[in-house]
Amino acid sequence: MPLWTWLVPVLALGLFLTALVTGVGILLAVLCGIALMAAVIVAVHHAEVVAHRVGEPLGTLVLALAVTAIETALILSMMIAGGDDMAALPRDSIYAAVMIICNGVVGICVLVGGLAHREQTFRIEGAGGGFAALIVLSTLTLVLPVFTTSTPAGTYSSSQLAFVAVTSSVLWAIFIFIQTVRYRDYFIPVTDTANLDVHAEPPTAGEAWLSFGLLLLCLLAVVGLAKKLSPTIEYAVEAANAPRAVVGIVIAALVLLPETWAAVRAARADRLQSSMNLAIGSALASIGLTVPVVVLASIAFKLPLILGLEPKEIGLLALTFLVSAFTLGTGRTYVMQGAVHLLVFAVFLFLAFVP
């Protein structure tokens, strides 16, 4: 194993611990930012090692689950520490994750893949089912709270929260079962189903387990550094007179960097199926894992929780799903589709700064 693959996560974690003890000054903030980017690159390397060992679609699932689990822990810790001021943080984080993945990640993957290979294909059977589940989970979590009448607009009652948490986790679990067991071939590229042994020799079990441990270490460092840099980000946002929701977008973007990097690399290598698996799986995990944990914490610690989006965000979410339905509806992509997704992503970013 190359020296940099284990040295970078150790140094990144060391900088996080240093920032935890001494606080973040200007110089340390710059070093933490560099370490965060380096940890992202190393995390993707270790995720690819694990993916090569276990194969698709389990490989992309490893990175998606690891990032989402740590992202959920980060949201939960900030909710408990912030109290009422963080009531809308889960909503902003989930919404930002869905928009970043469905527009930013999918858009750049389709664009890069189209420029490199003209036209690419993926299995519509798997992508279509996952996308339908994403629409349902997003509507239950982010849209329906605006229209319920048991509690003030944008919120759910305790029983409604419990129902949404259970249904979200069950639907996500069904998708994982379908993706990894019953219909696993729907998430494997057509060109690979005939011969799954055409790739290079996979790493040994010991190497895969070592990479998995270093992957978790990298992700812990990424989330920890992102959390320590968040006050600096908040200060920069306030200095720019931008809305508070921008903080959630920046943090979500930092946490999603490993998945984004891995998805773009896969598209560039003409493995768009892996990119789609990672994108849809990450978006589903960001709701199916985050919502139940946040709901349990909200009920147990009596934390306020606002889930309903504003009308502008609901409109952009609906536009995203409409455009994605056309992109995922044929199983073939080219440059134009990527450009459309990136335009919607640009609108999302612009209206976040200029509401």
Reported as a single tens digit per residue, the pLDDT across 126-155 is 888 899 999 999 999 999 999 999 998 889
DSSP labels, 324-337 = HHHHHSSSEE-HHH
Give the residues across from 69 on adjacent strands: none
pLDDT in tens, 239-258: 777 787 787 787 778 778 77
Residues of the chain predicted below pLDDT 70: 55-60, 63, 70, 81-83, 190-200, 234
* 217 Cβ neighbours under 8 A, 6+ residues apart: 9, 10, 13
pTM value is: 0.81
Torsion-angle region of 55 (φ positive above 0: left; ψ -120 to 50: alpha; else: beta): left
In the prediction, which pLDDT does 324 show? 93
In the block, tokens 């799986």 appear at 281
In the prediction, which pLDDT does 197 show? 41
Q: How far apart are CA 90 and CA 294, in angstroms?
A: 8
Question: How is the chain split into domains, by residue range?
Answer: 3-353
Right CATH number for 3-353 from 1.20.1420.30, 3.40.50.10740, 1.10.3720.10, 2.60.40.10? 1.20.1420.30
